[in-house]
Amino acid sequence: MTNLSAVEGMIFNVQHYCIHDGPGIRTTVFMKGCPLRCLWCQNPESHSMCHQIFFTAEKCAGCGKCIPACPIGAIHIQDGKAVTNRNLCQSCGVCTTVCLHEARNMMGTRVSAGEVFNKIEQDKIFYEESGGGATLSGGEPLFQSEFAASVLSLCKKAGIHTALETSGYARWDILQLVLPYVDLLLFDLKHMDPSEHQKCTGVSNELIKDNVIRIYHQQKKPVIIRIPVIPGYNDSLENIEATAEFVACKLGASVPVNLLPFHRLGESKNERMGVQGLLFNSIPPSEQHLKELKEIFVSHGLTVQIGG
Ligand code: SF4
Ligand code: SF4
Residue 82 in contact with ligand 1 by CB distance below 6 A: yes
Return the ligand number nearest the Cα of 60: 1
Report CA(103)–ligand 1 centroid distance (Å): 6
Residue 104 in contact with ligand 1 by CB distance below 6 A: yes
Q: How far apart are CA 40 and CA 20, in angstroms?
A: 20
Burial degree of 111 (CB within 10 A; 0-12, 13-18, 19+): middle
Return the ligand number nearest the Cα of 103: 1
Substitution site in 54, 72, 87 for ligand 2 pocket (most atoms within 8 Å of beta carbon): 72
Q: Please give the chain's pLDDT, 308 residues, in tens.
A: 679 999 999 999 999 999 999 999 999 999 999 999 988 888 888 888 988 899 999 999 999 999 999 999 999 999 999 999 988 999 999 999 999 999 999 999 999 999 999 999 999 999 999 999 999 999 999 999 999 999 999 999 999 999 999 999 999 999 999 999 999 999 999 999 999 999 989 999 999 999 999 999 999 999 999 999 999 899 999 999 999 999 999 999 999 999 999 887 777 787 788 776 556 667 889 999 999 999 999 999 999 999 87
Displacement of CA 172 from its chain's centroid (Å)? 20
Note whether 59 and 181 are same-domain residues.
no
Note whether 260 and 169 are same-domain residues.
yes
Residue 68 in contact with ligand 1 by CB distance below 6 A: no
Note whether 156 and 170 are same-domain residues.
yes
Q: Answer with the one of 90, 106, 122 that is the final residue of a domain.
A: 106
Note whether 44 and 58 are same-domain residues.
no
Note whether 124 and 98 are same-domain residues.
no
Report CA(273)–ligand 2 centroid distance (Å): 13
Note whether 225 and 261 are same-domain residues.
yes
Substitution site in 55, 56, 77, 90 for ligand 2 pocket (most atoms within 8 Å of beta carbon): 90
Residue pair 14/117 in contact (Cβ under 8 Å)? The answer is no
Considering only CA atoms, give the Rg of the chain. Answer: 21
Query: Which atom belonging to ligand 1 lies closest to the Cα atom of 101?
Result: 3
Counted domains in the chain: 2
Residue 70 in contact with ligand 1 by CB distance below 6 A: no
Note whether 144 and 266 are same-domain residues.
yes
Note whether 179 and 285 are same-domain residues.
yes
Angle among Cα 114, 118, 122 to the nearest 5 degrees reads 165
Global pTM value: 0.90
Note whether 25 and 58 are same-domain residues.
no
- Domain containing 225 — which CATH number? 3.20.20.70
Q: How far apart are CA 199 and CA 267, in angstroms?
A: 19
